[in-house]
Structure 1
Amino acid sequence: MSSPSILLENRDGIAVITLNRPDKLNSFTVAMHLELRDAIATLQADPSVRVLLLTGAGRGFCAGQDLGDRAVKPGDDGVDLGESIDKYYGPLVKSLRALPFPVICAVNGVAAGAGANLPLACDIVLAARSASFVEVFCKLGLIPDTGGTYFLPRLVGTARAMGMALLGEKISAEQAERWGLIWKCVDDDQLMEEAHAMAAHFARAPTKGLAATKATLYASPAHTLPEQLDLERDTMRALGRSRDYREGVTAFLEKRAPQFTGQ
């Protein structure tokens, strides 16, 4: 039997998804997409999950699409890449953004093509110092997908986004941090330790408030200032009635560490 394309662990509120095709640099196949979709749906329906950590097995994070999974022969009419976006990459990005808890991505090596943009759909990205990000689409006559054309200009500005997309040059983890593409670059031997420590922090945090923080920040670019202020008002009104808020205030007044339940 072949190994699963992803590995899923869920313990003490911390879920870990590992892309698991290390011999292919964790490149995407239809099977991987389907397994990943099922795993994310399972986590979304599980109220015990407080945080998700996404990473890759082996020496790379993800090399993007496995071209052998949709090979095109000379003389063929080609394949419908739009169908691939509709069925797999688009829903994957949307599902990660919609999760009601923080999503950490630990980029442990090369992140190319769709694999370079997948981390940008997560909430916080840590990258090993040896990791790199490459928008290889231009070398195949394609555009950056998996949200690339949306995320890149918003994170690094139009000039840098254009350079990344049109030239396909390798961006180091240190450069990605300087540009604001990711949260932090860390030494290789510290990557997973720091990622798990962050996951443990989120597993003890006020999850409902963090989910609302994600939602309001992601909504901001589409809103005017008055609209965003209204959203802040409505969100704060709901959070003010949460158990976590009451616990946070009580713990502060009692000078003790809060015991958040995510409710």
Structure 2
Amino acid sequence: MTYETITFDLTDRVATLAIDRPARMNALTPRVFAELTAAIDAALEQGARAIVLTGTGGAFCSGADLVGDGSAPMPRDLGESLDTSYNPFVRKVAALDVPFLTAINGPAVGAGLGLALLGDISVMARSAYVLLAFVNIGLVPDAGATWLVAKAAGRTKALEMALLGERVSAEEALAAGLVTRVVDDEQVLGQTQQLAAKLAAGPSVAIGMIRKQVAAALSLDLDQSLAVERENQTRAGHTRDFAEAVRAFGEKRKPVFEGR
């Protein structure tokens, strides 16, 4: 498939997707979401076992393109855009059976912040910043940003960011628990891809269950979480990867996981 708004690369079972609208700071349009969705499907069909999302140029993503790409006007009911583009993509990422990582190479603003925080692991450039900019244009957070920020940083930080609409530096984002790591700008994509490669070589079935198990735990009580753990452990215990790990332990070598 030929992409107009993103780039796609698949190397060693790691798919790297980059929003490619640098002149618009990688602002989001319906076409961007459609192409990201198609690229994820293509990556999985081709055997990807980890996915990285980043941006080209100096930004990760500036959020919704208020001008648009000329293919369709912005709907008067903005909830329609959420129904057709934003929310389906966020749900698709949340439901993935492979790890999803974000390389935050520059500013992540508005809905772009939501996409950045979707990463199971998020690596942020030292010069980058995140910004819940919605209040500055009379809107409310979307793309899952309310849930993602509140769950990561807590109610107080979420309200501060959402109500004041101020930039949060990479170091502040790390201290608040919003991102996983902060590295020098030139190392962001490389380090994220290295982490993705490590995950892609791991026990994929267990990794897929872990990401969903942690998400579920955020809204379950202890007893319910124990039940989820029990169900997933039963499934993990029957995988070929677990059997390989047991053999490797007995043979004093590193396991070679097949992702099955």
TM-score past 0.5 threshold: yes
2:64 paired residue number? 65
Residue pairs, 1:216-227, within 5 angstroms: 216-227=213-224
Scaled by the length of structure 1, the TM-score of the pair is 0.93
Superposed displacement of residue 224, structure 1: 1.8
Taking the aligned partners of 1:11 and 1:173, their CA distance within structure 2 comes to 28
Residue pairs, 1:100-111, within 5 angstroms: 100-111=97-108
Note if contact 1:97-1:122 (Cα within 8 Å) is conserved in structure 2.
no
1:75 paired residue number? none
Structure 2 counterpart SS, 1:4: coil
Taking the aligned partners of 1:48 and 1:3, their CA distance within structure 2 comes to 20
1:24 paired residue number? 24
Number of residue pairs the alignment of both structures matches: 256
1:6 paired residue number? 6
2:51 paired residue number? 52
Residue pairs, 1:104-183, within 5 angstroms: 104-183=101-180
Structure 2 counterpart SS, 1:145: coil
Structure 2 counterpart SS, 1:60: coil
2:40 paired residue number? 40
Taking the aligned partners of 1:222 and 1:190, their CA distance within structure 2 comes to 35
Unaligned segments of structure 1, at least 5 residues = 72-77
Structure 2 letter corresponding to 1:10: L
Task: Report the more deviating stretch, 174-183 or 194-203.
Answer: 194-203
Taking the aligned partners of 1:204 and 1:193, their CA distance within structure 2 comes to 17
Note if contact 2:102-2:118 (Cα within 8 Å) is conserved in structure 1.
no
Unaligned segments of structure 2, at least 5 residues = none
Structure 2 letter corresponding to 1:167: L
Note if contact 1:50-1:207 (Cα within 8 Å) is conserved in structure 2.
yes
Note if contact 1:26-1:61 (Cα within 8 Å) is conserved in structure 2.
yes
Taking the aligned partners of 1:151 and 1:200, their CA distance within structure 2 comes to 25
Taking the aligned partners of 2:28 and 2:111, their CA distance within structure 1 comes to 9
Note if contact 1:116-1:135 (Cα within 8 Å) is conserved in structure 2.
yes
Is 1:212–2:209 an aligned residue pair?
A: yes
Structure 2 counterpart SS, 1:64: coil
Note if contact 2:109-2:130 (Cα within 8 Å) is conserved in structure 1.
yes
Scaled by the length of structure 2, the TM-score of the pair is 0.94
Taking the aligned partners of 1:248 and 1:70, their CA distance within structure 2 comes to 50
Q: Deviations over 1:18-76 (max 9, x none)?
A: 110011110011221211121123334x26211001100000000001100199xxxxx
Alignment equivalent of 2:257, drawn from 237, 255, 260: 260
Taking the aligned partners of 1:119 and 1:253, their CA distance within structure 2 comes to 41
Instruction: Among all aligned residue pairs of Structure 1 and Structure 2, give the percentage whose two residues are the same amino acid.
Output: 37
Q: Deviations over 1:169-228 (max 9, x none)?
A: 000111100110010111112212211211111121111110010111111122221111
Taking the aligned partners of 2:205 and 2:43, their CA distance within structure 1 comes to 15
Structure 2 letter corresponding to 1:164: M
Note if contact 1:40-1:95 (Cα within 8 Å) is conserved in structure 2.
no
Taking the aligned partners of 1:191 and 1:222, their CA distance within structure 2 comes to 31
Taking the aligned partners of 1:260 and 1:59, their CA distance within structure 2 comes to 37
Is 1:202–2:199 an aligned residue pair?
A: yes
Structure 1 counterpart SS, 2:182: strand
Taking the aligned partners of 1:168 and 1:82, their CA distance within structure 2 comes to 21
Task: Report the more deviating stretch, 192-201 or 176-185.
Answer: 192-201
Taking the aligned partners of 1:118 and 1:251, their CA distance within structure 2 comes to 38
Note if contact 1:70-1:79 (Cα within 8 Å) is conserved in structure 2.
no
Q: CA RMSD in A?
A: 1.7
Q: Deviations over 1:76-114 (max 9, x none)?
A: xx7110000001110111111111111110000011110
